Amino acid sequence: MEDTAIIVMAAGKGKRMKSNSPKILHHLAGKPILSYILKTINKVEAKKRIFVIGYKTEKIKELIGKGEEIEFVEQAEPLGTAHAVLQTKSCLSDFKGDVLILSGDVPLLTVQTLKKLLRSHKLKRYNCTLTSSILEDPRGYGRIIRDEKGRITGIVEEVDLPEEKRGIKEVNGGVYCFNKNDLFRALEKIVPNNQQKEYYLTDTVKILLAEGLEVGSLMVEDPSEIWGINNRVDLAKATERVYQRVSESLMLQGVTIIDPSSTFIEEGVKIGQDTVIYPFSMIQKDTKIGKNCQIGPYSQLINSKIGEGVRVWASIVEESRIGEGAHIGPYAHLRPGSEIKKGVRIGNFVEVKKSTVGEGSKAAHLTYLGDALIGKGVNIGAGTITCNYDGEKKNKTIIEDEVFIGSNNSLVAPVKIGRRAYTGAGSAITEDVPAESLAIARSRQRNIVGWKRKKKEEK
């Protein structure tokens, strides 16, 4: 469909969002609304893709990026949707074909619907084909007006809707396909004789019909596809729908999600068969989870790679890798740059930052491991910390294979603990420990007999 041009209307500020940020840059299920539109239109073959922008244009261009083949047209004054589309006329002066028009605030619109609309428009040779849907509660939407034979006779915005028409439940989906010449001829004829004093794109339909031209429609079966985001209530509703879609898709692929209504998985996440996701878990930003895992309850995974058979219980994992059969949590925190190897146990209230923990090692509780390289079969005692920051730079701690670190140790980096070495409980290790040695670094205990009685007598 290379004889197609796509126009995205994205110039509005979105006053009802009550925000200084453009509406299309607000996040929906982890991604800006605009990202959903970009992903959809990029899957439709088109000769041109044009964004009409007007508010904080640089932020929108920054999000889209230089790699996208997008042309930008600015609508300096917000005079309505028809006025926005009219600004693209010079960009399309040499273009011949059909023009697909949609808004930048309909993130749930699917590429299947767009392709279906284009096919219908070309096959039936309409001058304009629009989308519509049936809503049980059509408030806020323009209504499709039909005659007794079911033919479209116009679109009326709700603000201009007479009382006798308010029972109509077929609404305008806001996505259109026009013959280019018909479109711009009609746009030039529009006058803003409505309550908003704006140039409505929907008036093109009335103009084309008055010329005796044909206007067709495509019924969108899933009304959520045409949901526009006007305020933060709409944003929450659409966010819920995205999470629902993702959960349904994963469950059909063999993933168990105990309670989809309390589970939040973003688009792009991959999860293997027979993995179980427990309630109140968030899985974000292209995280990949292997087969037979158990995630949650109360876990958050961000842009991480999880091997097969892993358990992550009530913990946070950020930009990290977890090997097969590892057990994380509860209440653990893997910060960016952490790599947890096969069979590792990271337990209660353990924080790992930019560290590698070797196969079969364990830090079961109350530990901080930062900028550390830990070998295989290491035991980290409770209350151990790597003192990696000296006030100026981060220093590395190296713990070789099969080391036993006693409880309540402070490992003052840079320091190296040799293979199969031991450290005594309560030690502050400031020097390297040779392999197979025992290091004890603590003051000798002194008991002052009768100290309490003497203090009482002094008072």
The angle formed by the CA atoms of residues 455, 456 and 459, to the nearest 5 degrees, is 90
234 pLDDT more than 60: yes
Structural domains in the chain, CATH included, are 4-226 (3.90.550.10), 252-439 (2.160.10.10)
Mean confidence (pLDDT) of the chain: 94
Q: Give the C-alpha separation, 330 to 412, whole Å.
A: 27
Question: In the prediction, which pLDDT does 66 show?
Answer: 66
Q: Closest Cα to residue 106, out of 33, 19, 22?
A: 33
Mean pLDDT of 75-102: 93
C-alpha span between 98 and 48 (Å, rounded) = 11
65-69, 204-208, 333-337, range with the lowest pLDDT: 65-69
365 catalytic residue (yes or no): yes
- Its pTM stands at 0.89
Residue 139 CA to residue 152 CA, distance in Å, equals 20
DSSP lists the bridge partners of residue 417 as 399, 433
pLDDT tens figures, 154-166: 898 888 888 888 8
Residue 335 has pLDDT above 90, yes or no: yes
**How confident is the model over 365-382, as a mean pLDDT?**
98
Amino acid at site 424: G
Both tokens of 329, joined, read 């949590």
Which pLDDT belongs to residue 159? 85
pLDDT exceeds cutoff 90 at 140 = no
User: Band of the pLDDT at 77, cuts 50, 70, 90?
Assistant: confident
Cα 175 off chain centre by: 24
C-alpha 139: how far from its chain's center?
A: 29
Q: What is the pLDDT of residue 2?
A: 59
Instruction: State the Cα–Cα distance between residues 288 and 269, nearest whole angstrom.
Output: 6
Q: What average pLDDT does this structure show over 415-424?
A: 98
